[in-house]
Structure 1
Amino acid sequence: IKKALKDSNGCQNDRKSEFVNFFLFNDTFKNNLLRKYLDLIAFERL
């Protein structure tokens, strides 16, 4: 996946690649974001 990202970005966007990898592969952050998103939806439905 990282190789595909570097091939698509042209190897000069290492910072962008790290940014994407952080959001794609940091499961703790993803779970927290998903939980906040679900809480927001539940709050709007009240």
Structure 2
Amino acid sequence: MTEIGLFIAGGLVTLVVFVGLLLYGMMSFNQWSKDDRTPIAD
């Protein structure tokens, strides 16, 4: 029971951290691409 609970908790923490870094990276990339006037991808 405890091992399963720790496994689920660890998975949730990993998922939250991954999503948070992904959103932070997307916002940083969008901010950077706004500052840059040259289009990189069509």
TM-score normalized by the length of structure 1:
0.45
Larger Rg over CA atoms: 2
Please give the TM-score of this superposition, normalised by the length of structure 2.
Answer: 0.49
